[in-house]
Amino acid sequence: MKILHTADWHIGKKLHKKDLAADFELFIGWLVDCIQENEIDAVLISGDVFDLANPSHEAKKQYYHSLLRLKSLDIKLIIIGGNHDSPSMLNAPRELLQEMNIHILGGMPQEAENALIPLTNKQGEIKVVIAAVPYLRSSDLPGLELAENYQERVERVREGIAYHFCQLAELAEKKYPGIPSIAMGHLFAKGVSTSESERDIQIGNLAGIEANQFGNYFSYIALGHIHQPQQVKSPIPIYYSGSPIQLSFSERKDQKRVLVIDTSKSFEPLSIPIPSFRKLKKIKGNLAKVKLELQSLSSTSNLTDLVEIELIEDNFDPHITFVLNQLIEDFGVPHIEIVKHRIYFKEVQKKLGDFSLKSQHLDELHAKEVFEKKLKEISIEENQKKLVEMAFDELLNEIESES
């Protein structure tokens, strides 16, 4: 069988208020062609289907339209929820979609056996079993409420995540002996690189699990949550496919991809690059450098290229702010749009305070950033600080999951 692994679609995502719906639509068109050209039998989507737990009408419409396009290819589709997704929202049409060979697990089912999904060939023979583990919330982690301190809580989160994978491995081996199994998960694994567009999960990513905690039963582990495509060091293949489109300027140099496993050959995946539909460009330097780079910009992309400017000068000078604003106002290169600009002065007079922070709008900051800034302003012991941070992370995850 040929199985395609993708993740972190983030339908409904906006980058500095710029809607990325067109990017995703082009990706789906490319994906349809990729599935046909490579004769794919099943597609795994490892979480964060949507960018928001309560997606807009337009985002839902794009999601269902995409499912219909993939369904027309006569493939099996397995989708798990991520930390951005609402389990109840994803699960609502589950029975209907299952009739279309689309399996949804928004959250971990009460009966673990329901997280095992067999994949059959055209002759009806089971060739691979998928062990689907959606993003695990506090209620899914046994014994978490018994933790007496911060470190014990971190360890119980790790153990709880590992428990679900080991449980499914035992069930798969018992129910489908001799048949290879692929696990799906949406989590943070230790040792991977992150980007600006990912939310911290499970105690601020501190509860990342080790590769050996997945056990040694699975032939491949298809992960989601990390947007930069990468492999987790392990004797068995553990991969993050990464997001299919660039979701932040920190991903502007990433080569986006999908992964294809041909089980008749091996469980080492083939990486298939996704074409870039638009470029994200970051200009960083003093006023002279910013002005020069703006003048040299040009575009050959399908969609409008987006630009972020970070102007850095040694001394505070309001005239520099005026000149930069004028440059942006006069900028008119076709198919290129400046979506964000910031100014930093290295040596700012104390009476002015931190100008770089004052020039930053509140809506540019994530709640965690605001919290961390406030936490720095108060005197608190290190152990208490960790407990407060842990409580904040858990509350924030709950709020973002329900919003």
106 Cβ partners below 8 Å, 6+ apart?
A: 80, 81, 85, 86, 87, 88, 89, 90, 91, 94, 134
CA 199 vs CA 163, 205, 255, 396: distances in Å = 23, 9, 21, 10
Residues 69-78 have pLDDT tens digits of 999 999 999 9
Q: Rounded distance, CA 102 to CA 74, Å? A: 10
In the predicted structure, residue 170 carries a pLDDT above the cut 90: yes
Query: Residue 396: what pLDDT?
Result: 66
Between residues 289 and 383, which one has the greater pLDDT? 289
Q: What is the mean pLDDT of residues 97-126?
A: 95
CA distance to 88, 151, 269, per residue, from 265 (Å): 38, 43, 10
For residue 278, what pLDDT is reported? 96
Three-class DSSP category at 142? coil
pLDDT at 265: 95
Domains of the chain, residue spans:
2-273, 280-402
State pLDDT tens for residues 183-238: 999 999 987 877 776 666 555 555 678 899 999 999 999 999 999 999 999 999 99
Q: pLDDT for 304-357, tens place per residue? A: 999 999 999 988 888 999 999 999 999 999 999 999 999 988 875 344 444 444
Whether 400 has a pLDDT exceeding 70, the answer reads: no
**What is the per-residue pLDDT across 104-118, written as a single tens digit (0 to 9) for each?**
999 999 999 999 999
Predicted confidence (pLDDT) at residue 401 exceeds the cutoff of 60: no
Mean of pLDDT values over 145-171: 86
> Residue 139 — very low, low, confident or very high, per pLDDT cuts 50/70/90?
confident
For residue 358, how many other CB atoms are within 10 A of its CB? 9
b/e map 16-39, b = 16+ CB within 10 Å: eebebbebbebbbebbeebbeeee
- The pTM (predicted TM-score) of the whole model is 0.86
3-state secondary structure of 93: coil
Q: Return the H-helix or E-strand segment holding 270.
A: strand 270-273
- What pLDDT, on the 0 to 100 scale, is given for residue 353? 47
The CA distance from 178 to 172, in Å, is 9
Per-residue pLDDT band for 358 (boundaries 50, 70, 90) equals very low
What average pLDDT does range 145-156 have in this prediction? 77
Residue 127 DSSP SS3: strand
What pLDDT score was predicted for residue 199? 65
Determine what percent of the chain is predicted with pLDDT higher than 90.
72
CATH fold of 2-273 reads: Purple Acid Phosphatase; chain A, domain 2 (3.60.21)
For 314-335, b/e burial (b = at least 16 CB within 10 A) is: eeeeeebbeebeebeeeeeeee
Average pLDDT on 96-109 reads 95
